[in-house]
């Protein structure tokens, strides 16, 4: 009987430790402030569906959101690349400032299939002082006949 109680106690202790150390309960890592980054943002001007890998054209919206409530950021580059990495389009020709909590969007129309299924944006931003890094996402939406799809991709800082 004593062995059973010890076993149950150890099992309960292990369960409590697992619960308390689960990722959802741990404090999130603090955001590292930055004064600029190059960000890779996946985009898809089309995806494939069906057994014949039929392309479904998508519109792409690149959203850049300054999540810092106190500091502006400056966007110095928004370049769109196709699947093989070749530059397709430079979206800005001069720096663009986003004020605190400001945002900007850039569109690749649904009829533009030049990017392909491996398209991407490279976005460069800077700030005069350490700032919360912006959130950069693409939103892809497409419809064809009765088929409709939408999804997002989040940007990744480059080293």
Per-residue pLDDT reduced to its tens digit, 23-57: 555 555 677 999 999 999 999 999 988 888 888 99
Q: What is the CB neighbour count within 10 angstroms for residue 59? A: 17
Q: Is residue 13 included in any domain, yes or no?
A: no
For residues 112 and 81, give the distance between their C-alpha atoms in angstroms, rounded to a whole number.
13
Instruction: Enumerate residues 6+ apart whose C-beta is below 8 A from 113.
Output: 45, 46, 55, 57
Domain count, the chain: 1
Domain of 151 in residue numbering reads as 33-157
Q: Is residue 110 included in any domain, yes or no?
A: yes
For residues 8 and 142, give the distance between their C-alpha atoms in angstroms, rounded to a whole number.
54
Q: Is residue 106 included in any domain, yes or no?
A: yes
Supply the pTM of this predicted model: 0.80
> What digits encode the pLDDT tens for the residues 51-89?
888 889 999 999 999 999 999 999 999 999 999 999 999
Q: Is residue 16 included in any domain, yes or no?
A: no
Helices (H) and strands (E) in the chain, counts: 1, 12
Q: Is residue 79 included in any domain, yes or no?
A: yes
Q: Is residue 86 included in any domain, yes or no?
A: yes
Q: Is residue 10 included in any domain, yes or no?
A: no
- CATH of residue 84's domain is 2.60.290
Q: Is residue 20 included in any domain, yes or no?
A: no
């Amino acid at each position: 009987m004593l062995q059973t109680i010890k076993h149950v106690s150890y099992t309960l202790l292990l369960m409590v430790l697992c619960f308390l150390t689960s990722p959802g309960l741990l404090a999130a890592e603090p955001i590292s402030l930055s004064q600029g980054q190059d960000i890779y943002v996946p985009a898809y001007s089309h995806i494939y569906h069906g057994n014949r890998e039929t392309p479904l054209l998508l519109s792409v919206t690149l959203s850049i959101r300054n999540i810092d409530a106190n500091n502006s950021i400056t966007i110095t580059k928004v370049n769109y690349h196709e699947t093989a990495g070749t530059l397709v389009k430079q979206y800005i020709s001069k720096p663009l400032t986003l004020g605190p909590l400001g945002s900007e969007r850039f569109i690749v129309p649904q009829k533009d299939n030049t990017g392909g299924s491996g398209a991407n944006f490279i976005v460069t931003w800077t700030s005069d002082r350490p700032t919360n890094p912006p959130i950069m996402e693409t939103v892809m939406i497409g419809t064809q006949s009765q088929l409709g799809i939408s999804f997002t991709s989040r940007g990744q800082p480059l080293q």
